[in-house]
Structure 1
């Protein structure tokens, strides 16, 4: 079984820097689990680590497609799985720096999505809705068309909810009477490190980061994307931080209103991430606020990884 280290937690908790420093100690590579980091030219609004910040550590699934292209959990699983296999062949353990809960869970548990011809676009649409609005929203969509199946499925069981909606969308029938696969299992020999902190502190960090994004040129970045021909309604431009600035550029809202909305949406997103991860099993949660010295934090996490994989 291939080995994998996963660093997960809400946005702005500190996953990026910690993953880089762990990669240095372990002499390994990082695979991004963030659905927005795949887009070239979308750097500021995604808090993408710069080349200098990556500090020579190879990062995968960053800057791999253009902003007008679509990306999905199925594409992520295909690409990430190959990188995990390649890095394991070198006798190193890759680090998955998680951000998008659906992507992380789907990868770790080996989700198999049905590739029925014609349903990929609809599936991508549902996945994006889940990222933007949360699992409860998608669960509500299913409840509207197939309440019996919706009652059987937990709102966080997003894989089966999306599959049920796909079946209804393609054939106009529900799958209430069909047997559904209910097995959840990890397909990697993995250790999951979850970073958390006081909610108030996390929200302060989020607000500060949004202010830095604006100061560092978020408006200019979005303006450049639009001027380069990127449609405002494409998947990437619907991400938090981008759609709000588009509204400002179109003079629909003031800049301050756009900034406030970005902060609020990011806080809500962080809350959904926390809820998602809390439903996953076997996560080693670490309260970042409880460890004052960063080197101590790094050491504690390294020991957990070393204990799992019998490293020196």
Structure 2
């Protein structure tokens, strides 16, 4: 769908996914292969190595730069993907507060997570900042720890700081969200995990582990990588790792939907209906937003 939209509106795509920035992490991130991009330029994919940290602030800066370059070429910048904080930070020009850091506190939380598990660490966050806990997956250990650290350093909640952001956009936005029946969504999630396993997800994680990445590397906290790493470390069976991955992905999808439901001005499209009709509806939304004639922008029939 994103490719059809990009071709119709002379757009270039910016990946809004926090894990697709990493080279060598293709299967677990469902990264679109170069040969599948149908000539549409894609940005913020394969821009750093798994050893490197990459933050929402890094994404915001990179996306803003890409948006400027795309617009200068007379094309439409089109963010596709789903890491809520990353996308929202660009849409509304978030100011990332410099609350400082406490390395000893951060290491203590890392150790706690290693000893008692990601869920136990996540419960700590739920006690002091339930709103942040609702929006962050337990596997997103780096952001869970950062939310705890913000509370530790400032006495304020991370969610409170986010709520205080001005929701004024520096751009003229057209926001479109895709949704579908929950049971069908979960079926497709499980189907996708099975396909990832067939494509060689275990071997991809093996290659990453062979690089001797530090245990707290951001890249290894991504869905699929943490679960399969647990299997490769001998902490569970492959079957258990796959079932956990399916469960965690279902939970992530629920959190992702919750995050975007809080964003204003999103036009929601139910993907359970006819694909062709949905595409027509989306084109109508874009045309109405920018007050232009679709036929003028498109050289193909819909």
Q: Distance in 1 between matches of 2:135 and 2:230?
A: 31
* Counterpart among 59, 65, 88 of residue 82 in structure 1: 65
For 2:246, the equivalent position in structure 1 comes to 263
Is there any run of 5+ residues in structure 2 with no aligned partner, and where? 137-143, 294-302
CA RMSD of aligned residues (A): 3.2
**Structure showing greater relative contact order (alpha-carbon pairs closer than 8 Å, 6 or more residues apart):** 1
Structure 1 stretches lacking a partner, 5+ long: 1-17, 144-149
Counterpart for residue 282 of structure 2: 301
> Deviation string for 1:183-208 (max 9, x for gaps)?
32222101001100000000000000
2:56 to 60, 73, 80: 73
Give, in angstroms, the shift of residue 88 of structure 1: 1.4
Q: Distance in 1 between matches of 2:147 and 2:191?
A: 40
Give the 3-state SS of the residue equivalent to 1:243 in structure 2. helix
Q: In the alignment, which residue of structure 2 is the partner of 1:97? A: 80
Give the total of aligned pairs. 272
Aligned pairs for 1:176-215 (under 5 A) are 181=164, 183-215=166-198
Distance 1:28 1:119, change over 3 A: farther
Local SS of the residue matching 1:306: helix
Superimposed CA distance per residue, residues 15-50 of structure 1 (whole angstroms, 9 cap, x where no aligned partner)? xxx112211111220001100100000000110111
Structure 1 residues 163, 212: CA separation in 2 closer, same or farther (over 3 Å shift)?
Answer: closer
1:79-107 Cα shifts (integer Å, max 9, x gaps)? 10111111112222111003101111111
* Of 228, 231, 240, the match for 2:211: 228
SS of residue matched to 2:269? strand
* Separation in structure 2 between the aligned mates of residue 92 and residue 242 of structure 1, nearest angstrom: 35
Partners of 1:238 and 1:163 lie apart in 2 by 14
In the alignment, does 2:126 pair up with 1:140? yes
- 2:93 is aligned to 110
How many angstroms does 1:229 deviate by? Answer: 2.9
